[in-house]
Amino acid sequence: MLEASLRLVVLFIAISASAAQTPAILDTSGQPLRRGVDYLILPGVTDVAGGLTLQPRNATARCPLFVAQEPLAQVVSQGLPVSFAPFAAGENMVREGRDLIATFSAATTCVQSTSWRIGEEDAQSRRRFIVTAGQPSYFRIERNATTNAYQIGWCPGESCPNCGRPRCGAAGILIRDGRRFLALDGPAFPFRFRRA
């Protein structure tokens, strides 16, 4: 019994030390992203579109709302603020490659949760939309070494140790009916985070 308890303590210390060595995600002012703080998710490259927001899939179906990108216009919208909640209990910093829940800090007429989750597949591209409402999914943020921006992806790890081999995917933009939706399974889109 004592030996089993010691093994658990050593395992906990090793996991904690590993988490502490994982770099923090930085906002545009060089500060680490923090749990519960609102951020705008903006393109990592300029002049392509605005920040992330909520939109219906089409003009006839108003709910649920999909995670989408504001279109490029004369005045580019910064989108809606998003807060992050790391999976690791007691972790207040958002770290690279660690599971987290993303939630828009906004009220909607759909009367639903604004936390992100994996939605249905697009019939043409076979890419999975990122939507809101229902049980939230755990996402990850990774630094893209080429662009020095960040990419958002889905690949359950610490939040689902028994998931086997999930169909992981990077989030990019999928254009449907003139709208720019966030979807998995395509080229990753670079993002940056600015405190709201």
For the chain, which residues make up each domain, given as ranges? 2-195
Residue by residue, pLDDT tens for the chain (196 residues) are: 445 444 433 334 444 444 457 999 999 999 999 999 999 999 998 767 899 999 998 878 788 899 999 988 756 689 999 999 999 999 999 999 999 999 999 988 888 899 999 999 999 999 999 999 889 999 999 998 777 899 999 998 888 888 878 889 999 999 998 899 999 999 999 999 999 9
Contacts of 10 (CB under 8 A, 6+ apart): none
Sequence-separated contacts (24+) of 159-163 with Cβ below 8 Å: 159/87, 159/99
With beta carbons less than 8 A apart as the criterion, state whether 88 and 68 touch. Answer: no
Residue 73 burial by CB count (10 A; 0-12/13-18/19+): exposed, middle or buried? exposed
Distance CA 3, CA 90 (A): 27
Fold of 2-195: Trefoil (Acidic Fibroblast Growth Factor, subunit A) (2.80.10)
